[in-house]
Chains A and B, each alone.
Chain A
């Protein structure tokens, strides 16, 4: 059993999700009696393997979830995959996977490009590290769900404006339901994003006090991108709130949710370029500096 679980790789569950996505996409092309079961089967198999992979890492690696960038991205992907599966079972006529699984696959791809080295920790910083990582995770997942709901809202509104009947196999939830979800996600993303940023400042201060990690300066790329992301999420949430009682409010909120996802994606890509002191011990920073990789 142990060998089996140890043999599970990122490719295993990524491939399962990809096949599930292909089945979901085929809804638009032809009818099939077994497609739903096949799609659910592959998505469930992927989620099962994904869960075992994360559990195996938590048990056998000297880390806990969220303690490396790699684990953080995989956990975000896991949350979205689990949510997608649950929504698919609850709404079999809606192609939920078609919207969520591409994001899941992108997050898995981003995880593969991330460092698997755990952030240095000691008991004093571990709690703050978990809080910081959890809030950022919640914000990212909320942005993704909000963007999917916003995109679905725009598609549904487009269909209703064109006065067209629903496409077979492509039935969207009601505008009312999607509007509520989009607006709540905007609020959750802004609050958890802000909390994640603030807890990061606290974590930085504790690190400075403990001398455990290198102090992250304000102009560090990670601080800048997270700051910009949080600022954008706050603006989006405020605009959404202000326009809530206007007829065009929901459309604006739906559009902003898509922009939020683009900003989040840009922030994640930005994380790939440029050196940073974020999550690095002084020794690593010195080694980077010696190698000419100065933040």
Chain B
């Protein structure tokens, strides 16, 4: 059952374990090591059986790692070359700091708690005198987020007034909120929606009002992770030529393909999951976007939207 580790995976683990054990002169138990460093007892023993043969030329007893392994107890005394663990890679340090700063940015975080203290010490070990080398804002709307998190924890059914941006529609829904998460900078709540009789994901900044229905719901069985929005293959397409000043579209919308034209413009094909967001995009881009080809259902989208808005100005 135990997964076989590669030689490099064993090396990485042992370069952390050996100094950690050596720093504890009385030794430690194998079960503590196996919990702390995420190895099965078998994997751990396989490694340790080899470590006691490791050392430097001429490999006489005094040049080897001095390791004693007796039943569940291990002790290491060693020459000083393995006295300290290996530094973190930059990518590892970034993953840890970014995750930690994210949690610290949430409304409930304790700015003086163990996480904050741990991040300060970590920053110092990474050679920085400031722990604020990374700042994360998972999303705004902290009041609603706190209310929703509370409802998730207490399994309280809610009624929300929700604005569907894509369809430009405001409607009231009854939901069982399962989880609240931030994905790519926005807060979402994943819930069972009684109006749709299905699981739905709602963007928290489009929830206009939240009312507690004083009812406890039974949680459903679903993956807890909220994934980023991805258009489906059935969505109609539109192809635009974008002026250089409109290149930002590429980083903000689901792009099917891009091609740089000889005149410096960018030809992009977008999948359109709802007409209203395309309307918004096109009226904002104006002359910076030229429609090259489009699904017939989207053909009059830009002029319809422009005319609708103009009605407010030309009355």
Answer yes or no: are A and B bound together in one complex. no
Q: Which residues of B contact A (CB under 8 A)?
A: none
Which residues from chain A sit less than 8 Å from chain B, CB to CB? none
